[in-house]
Structures are given as structure tokens and as C-alpha cells.
Amino acid sequence: MPDAKKQRAGRKGGQTVSKDRAHMAAIGRKGGQRSRVKRSEAPEQKENMMGSSITTAAEQRNGGAEHQSGTSDQAVEMLKADHQRVHSLFEDYETAGGEDKIAIADKIMKELEIHSTIEEEIFYPAFREKSGKQGQDMVTEALQEHQSVKTALKELKAMDSGNETFESTFLDMMHDVEHHVGEEEGEMFPLAEEVLGNGLEELGAEMQKRKHELLESLESEALH
């Protein structure tokens, strides 16, 4: 897997990501290709998981209501809901400004940290055990992609949000996230549903428990 900094070095700093971007829920796309689809015209509601005071554009269109997504007890559906939530937040990031933009970026980074942790601690090991050589190779690649995103997150946390390179680094990271999501939903998740079967319910319950623990930990840290 190419080093994250080398990947970003080949891109123009601060380049604008197309609005008609690859949708993060690119189910069925193979080889990491991302489906180029138009954004849904239906308003979406976002879950304010981190207790932020940010009201997203979609929430404003729906009177500030929050959508409690990501509560499925089925492991794959839970991970897909996480993907969609981050995608929706990223759409809000692109249209926001000032302090709202910074707060949304922070929320996205926290979501990615929690999501990658439950995948690495719970989902990937269970999937790798049941999926044979094909699944093992998928997990190896996925972990490499996680590491690239973690490297970017570390760089972003060390930057001042007003730094001129912050947004270009953030956009590059999101490009990597979208690529990763396209591969998971197009290749890994269908195989996981096949090999894990009914075990996805129990696995999802374990992941939800761990997710709540991580959320409580982050909220506790924010208070101190």
C-alpha cells in the first residue's frame, strides 16, 4: 500500500473535490472503484453523536431533528450506517464555513477513529477467521488503508485548523476514506454476509457495546 504522505504528495494542495464525487456507499463496485452518483435530493438527518452544538444543513431542513442511524444490531449494516453518516457530514463540511466547518471536521475525525477501532478490534478478526485466504488478503489491505488514514489524522491534529494546508490534507484523507469504503462495501461486506451469516447479529451487538464505550471515553476526555 503506498505511503499516505506519498499519495498526498502527488496531489495538488488544496484542490477542490468534485461535488459529483464518488458516493461513499458504492455497493457492488469492484477493485476499489467508486460509483459516481448524484447526491440524493431527499433531505438527510444526522446523528449528533459527539454532543456537538453543530446543526447540519440536513438537520436544519428537517427542523433540527436527528436521525439515530448506526443502531442496527447487524454488524455489516452498522458499519454501512457509519459510512453514510461520515459521507453526510463531509457534504456538510464542504458547504459550511468558519467555526462550523472546523467543528464538523473534528466530528468526522472522531467518527473515523471510533469506526476504525471497532473494525480492527472486532469485525476484521471475526471476518478473517471465517473467510479464508481471500478474506485475509482483504483485511491486510484494509489495515494498510486504515494506517494511511490514521497518519493523516495525526497530521491534522498537530495542525492549526487555520493552517492553509489543513483543508488540503483533510480533503486528501477523505479521498482515501472514500476509496476504502468503496472496497469494503463492494467486496468485503458481501463476503462477510456470506461467511458470517447469523453470526452478524451477535457480532453487531458486541460492536455496539464497544462503540458506546469509545463514545463515553471521548466525551469524558472532552470534559477534562
Q: Which residue has the higher pLDDT, 104 or 70?
A: 104
* Banded pLDDT at 73 (limits 50, 70, 90): low
The CA distance from 181 to 187, in Å, is 10
Phi, psi of 36 (to 5 degrees): -95, 95
The DSSP symbol for 11 reads S
- Residue ranges per structural domain of the chain: 73-224
CA atoms within 13 A on the CB side of 198: 0
**Residue pLDDT, tens place only, 131-178:** 999 999 999 999 999 999 999 999 999 998 878 899 999 999 999 999
Distances (CA, A) of 21 to 24, 28, 34, 77: 9, 17, 9, 23
Give the helix/strand (H/E) hosting 150: helix 124-158
**Other beta carbons less than 10 A from residue 46's beta carbon:** 24
Cβ–Cβ < 8 Å for 37, 60 = no
Average pLDDT, the chain: 76
Total residue length of the chain? 224
Q: Write down the residue that cell numbers 468485503 correspond to.
A: 188
The CA distance from 169 to 8, in Å, is 8
The CA distance from 191 to 196, in Å, is 8
Cβ–Cβ < 8 Å for 156, 169 = yes
Which residues are registered as beta bridge partners of 22?
Answer: 36
202: left (phi > 0), else alpha (psi -120 to 50), else beta? Answer: alpha
**Residue pLDDT, tens place only, 30-50:** 344 433 333 333 333 334 333
pTM of the model: 0.69
The CA distance from 115 to 112, in Å, is 5
The CA distance from 209 to 69, in Å, is 15
* Banded pLDDT at 224 (limits 50, 70, 90): low
